[in-house]
A and B are shown apart, each in its own frame.
Chain A
């Protein structure tokens, strides 16, 4: 006979789950409608019914190491069909929010990202950094112009001495934090009962993850499998995803070209001509971003409050991406219109929001781009999330 296991509920954890978005979890009466109607949930140990009872019982260990939170793509069918209004979709989202708080080190950042009351600190740090830079280069809110009398952002925020070193440093830090996060995530998966005996080696997970990126994420197949009326989310996420991919390519080009120019003396300086292919790509990507943002924001605003609730994590990420996108667009337009008094402050806002998006990435909802991807890779390897049918 199996040994009787004593359940040790963590009451504080239940409260934390409720605060992180799972406030209705105690309404669940375990009918398992959610597990059945979920279009993605597997046959063996399906989610989210089991997560609901783990959360009710305060079984922190099980929830924290649960791979399934990342298999859920939040289509909301479970909450739609839940006979009790227990909102299982919100609980799964809350579990991911807890992961954003706790997977990446230092976790104090996770705490700062968990509530709007810390927003002034988070915004204040970059606001101050860029303000000091502005003061150092151009005096108190100086509005310098280049030799042709044009707005040139580099004059206020120099790329060589300031922007690239700062964001380069952030990039290195974020990568290191993510690598540690990935390792700790794989370890929790390997410690969970779903793991094969002996666990899965990190390299194997990463190989499988690569496959997931190639044939699942690029095509957004999971969103399609979510089925139903998910078009706003499918196209919305796609717009934002490929918008970011496009802008990543442009940024990478600008970085490489700039430093190539510095060392070779070739003129590869920004701003690029509007007809430069990379500039065209940048503008197309921005438009894709805006369209995607409109779709997902509209959807979120129209959610039935009795079935779904958006958390602070959702709004933080959406808000920051909106500011990044709009301030970026307007920075370009104001530069072309040559209105220094508005253009420089706009570019300043753009930099502050970019900092908030990337420096805090490992603790924000955007971290799903790493954690979910790795989790899907792991799930595919152990057969929990099968390869999509062609």
Chain B
């Protein structure tokens, strides 16, 4: 039997885009998202480059399109276990992990308020705490709380069950498995930030005021742990000297051997966050090459006009902490001057790169991966889109998603 439905693995910006493009021309699509909300990495961002608008509005529009389109079905807390079959006829087994919160949830937050357990928030990248029952983030879609079974005390506690006026908490929710029959599969599993713990010479993730670029997004975000005030994680002080360490673990045979494409623009964008809050802050960007392809060069020229932004050609190869002040000491050779210097900063941003979420795993349905874990479209019914395919910005992610949707439609049309 042949099917005309399309399975989209991953509910981030690429997955949503691919799903909507296909659904809006009449195809049934299923989005399978591992996390508890749609929107993926984009929902963690403060602003997009180069226009510097908040991603929440773009996401909101897409969520409306999903809500209004009966052709789109999505599953959160869902993981594809296996995909078998041939183009036009795939069978996907999907595991649905228990959420412990049903659709009665109104997001009133009473459960969270009584929950006695606190743990690091993944969404805030360790910069804030969350409860065992929590809303993934302020604008998470679907609007439903979720319980983290790893830290939840379970029935012995049950405070959330008692607090909920809508019978929304189900502590005996169980794992389920469903089967989806589709004609084509789009792999849009996205990326994860490269783990700074692996960057030994850059402090191995132990220096409090050496944050990653994604943590900077959260610090700058109005919905973030500091309500958008960019301050030092160690003591909440306003930074006066900030350094950006480009290629932190990128273009490096021992880490990510490729260029992640977005980190230069992300740092330049984050300079604008800092400048908006600190008109006099000194900012130094240490780089090997500043890569701002195409029209992004204009953005670079704009930042260059800022007299208090210094760009130093030379990769940082030593980051240490001054325990007494919480300052961060950064060493690099300015290769234009031929000077190796240690400089003191109040705060340092490590511009870490993108690692494919599925790196190190084997994917079903013959989806091939390159040495770095990026998915290679098979051109026979299984396609890749977004950062699962290669490191991309949001705009190009959407373009590859549209392309993958078209390929998927070509596979299933007429079946």
Contact = CB atoms under 8 A, between A and B. Distances in A.
Interface of A: 29-33, 35-37, 41-46, 49-50, 81-85
A37 B332 CA distance: 9
B201 A30 contact: no
B380 interface: no
Interface of B: 201, 247, 251-255, 288-289, 314-318, 331-333, 335, 338-341
B135 to A, nearest CB: 40
B333 A85 contact: no
Contacts, number: 65
Contacts of A42: 340
Given A31-B288, A81-B201, A85-B253, A37 B318 contact: yes
A81 B254 CA distance: 8
Interface of B is mostly: loop
Contacts of B251: 29, 31, 83-84
A33 B315 CA distance: 6
A29 B288 contact: yes
B253 A46 contact: no
Contacts of B316: 36
B251 to A, nearest CB: 6
17 contacts: A31-B247, A31-B315, A32-B315, A32-B332, A33-B317, A35-B333, A36-B314, A36-B315, A36-B331, A42-B340, A43-B340, A46-B338, A46-B340, A81-B201, A82-B253, A83-B247, A85-B253
A63 B317 CA distance: 25
A29 B246 CA distance: 14
Contact of B317 (A32, A43, A45, A85): A32
A46 B315 CA distance: 14
B288 A30 contact: yes
Given A32-B333, A36-B332, A46-B333, A83 B253 contact: yes
A41 to B, nearest CB: 7
Nearest to B331: A36
Interface of A is mostly: loop
A123 B255 CA distance: 47
- Residue picked from A29, A36, A37, most chain B C-beta under 10 Å: A36
A65 B252 CA distance: 31
B380 to A, nearest CB: 36
Contacts of B315: 31-33, 36, 83
A46 B342 CA distance: 13
Contact of B335 (A32, A41, A43, A85): A32
Contact of B333 (A36, A82, A83, A84): A36
A43 B334 CA distance: 10
A32 B317 CA distance: 8
A205 B331 CA distance: 32
B341 A43 contact: yes
A71 to B, nearest CB: 14
Contacts of B338: 44-46, 50
A83 B254 contact: yes
Contact of A49 (B201, B318, B335, B341): B335
A28 to B, nearest CB: 11
B253 A36 contact: no
Contacts of A45: 338-339
A83 B353 CA distance: 14
- Residue picked from B252, B316, B317, B338, most chain A C-beta under 10 Å: B317
Given A31-B288, A37-B201, 13 more contacts: A30-B288, A31-B315, A32-B317, A32-B335, A35-B340, A36-B332, A37-B318, A43-B341, A45-B339, A46-B340, A50-B335, A83-B251, A85-B253
Nearest to B332: A36
A44 to B, nearest CB: 6
Contacts of A37: 201, 317-318
A331 B333 CA distance: 54
A50 B335 CA distance: 8
Nearest to B254: A83
Contacts of B332: 32, 36
A251 to B, nearest CB: 44
A42 B338 CA distance: 10
Given A83-B251, A83-B252, A32 B314 contact: yes
The 9 A-B pairs of least Cβ separation, nearest first, read A83-B252, A36-B317, A31-B315, A32-B333, A33-B317, A35-B333, A46-B340, A45-B338, A32-B314
- Residue picked from B254, B333, B339, most chain A C-beta under 10 Å: B333
A326 B332 CA distance: 47
Contacts of B252: 83-84
Contacts of B254: 81, 83
A193 to B, nearest CB: 11
Contacts of B201: 37, 81
